[in-house]
Amino acid sequence: MLQRGVETANRKERIMNTSASTYLTNFDSETKLRLPSIEDIEFSTLISIGRRVYSIGGTKDTKTLEAVPNCYFATVYSNEEIGEFEKTTPLPEGLVFSSCAVIDDEIYVFGGVRDNDDISDLIYKSKILYSGNLTTWEVVGKLPTPICDAAVVCVKNRVFLIGGVVGKGAINVSNKVHYTDIGKEDTFKWVESSTLPFSITQAKAVIIEESVCLIGGKIRFKETDNELDFPEIDESGVSDLIFKIPVTKDKLLDTDKLETVGSLPEPLVPNEVRYSFDKLWVSGVWDGHNLYYRTYSANICKDNWR
């Protein structure tokens, strides 16, 4: 047991080492963008497609977390300011803490928590019209297990689910990576491809130069077979770490080569991340204590990232 504790401590120290990064510049801590009011909805899932941002689901009551099906979209201007949100086609049911991905011109919604605290295993899909509106949502498949708060990232037509809270009833934070290939017929055959050296939830992921960038969220390191322990990041367990996971030629995540490549200006549960014009944008809504909207940005050193 002592040896296991030493190994865990060494793993924490190696992973959480955030010395000066050669992968990205320091984040601009002065960028504080306004998120327009979305009818008092909080904890919606934000996802950017081109110069638009979509808000999916959420709740109007942060105490009960009663989920709503509302969906909205807004224009993102050249200065990164966000315009007013317009209502579009709602989900078939209320969902909060769902995960989203975009493939071609379609939005996929994975899991989430229903308004009766039940975790969903359904996958919804809607097509984005030229006007920005969404078509009627349809159920197109199921997840390998009920899941919420997973990080989602796409490598071409392959979708990866990273971590998240899984299962019905008991709350279990996952360290697993699942993937499925999405074809024209929306057939979902999930494969458990690898595991992380820690469990993670409420993080966000984005592709940068043939690697997955995993940002913020809550991290747990496995101490024993029956115990999960938050690292000493801050008392809420929210992380400021940024990880890089290489993508292999076979389009798999090489979690054995995971490394820490930088840190956010503060521990954050990001609501949305984007990579555009060699810049990483991270929009945070929760630091473990306060709910707010703030956007940070950093330049990516592409030559070092490859």
250-292: per-residue pLDDT in tens?
A: 999 999 999 888 888 888 888 888 887 788 888 876 666 666 6
Given the DSSP bridges, would you call strands 204-208 and 211-215 parallel, antiparallel or unpaired?
antiparallel
Percentage of residues in the chain having pLDDT higher than 90: 38
Stretch 185-191: mean pLDDT: 81
Residue 107 in this model has a pLDDT that exceeds 90: yes
Closest Cα partner for 273 from 156, 152, 155, 176?
152
Tokens of 97: 């803490």
Going by pLDDT thresholds of 50, 70 and 90, the confidence category of residue 97 is: very high
Question: Lowest-confidence range among 23-27, 108-112, 116-120?
Answer: 23-27
pLDDT at residue number 227: 39
pLDDT at residue number 214: 94
Residue 105 in this model has a pLDDT that exceeds 50: yes
pLDDT at residue number 88: 96
Element (H, E) at 4: helix 2-15
Question: pTM score, two decimals?
Answer: 0.85
Please tell me what DSSP assigns to residue 288: S
The sign of the CA dihedral 49, 57, 130, 103 is: positive
Residue 138 in this model has a pLDDT that exceeds 60: yes
Residue 44 in this model has a pLDDT that exceeds 70: yes
Residue 136 in this model has a pLDDT that exceeds 70: yes
The per-residue pLDDT for range 198-207, each reduced to its tens digit, is 889 999 999 9
Residue 176 in this model has a pLDDT that exceeds 70: yes
Going by pLDDT thresholds of 50, 70 and 90, the confidence category of residue 219 is: confident
290 vs 11: CA distance, rounded Å? 30
29 vs 40: CA distance, rounded Å? 26
Going by pLDDT thresholds of 50, 70 and 90, the confidence category of residue 31 is: low
The per-residue pLDDT for range 235-256, each reduced to its tens digit, is 567 888 899 999 999 999 999 9
Tokens of 255: 């979690």
Residue 229 in this model has a pLDDT that exceeds 60: no
pLDDT at residue number 277: 78
Residue 86 in this model has a pLDDT that exceeds 80: yes
Q: Which domains does the chain have, with CATH numbers?
A: 2-25+39-305 (2.120.10.80)
pLDDT at residue number 3: 43
Stretch 224-230: mean pLDDT: 40
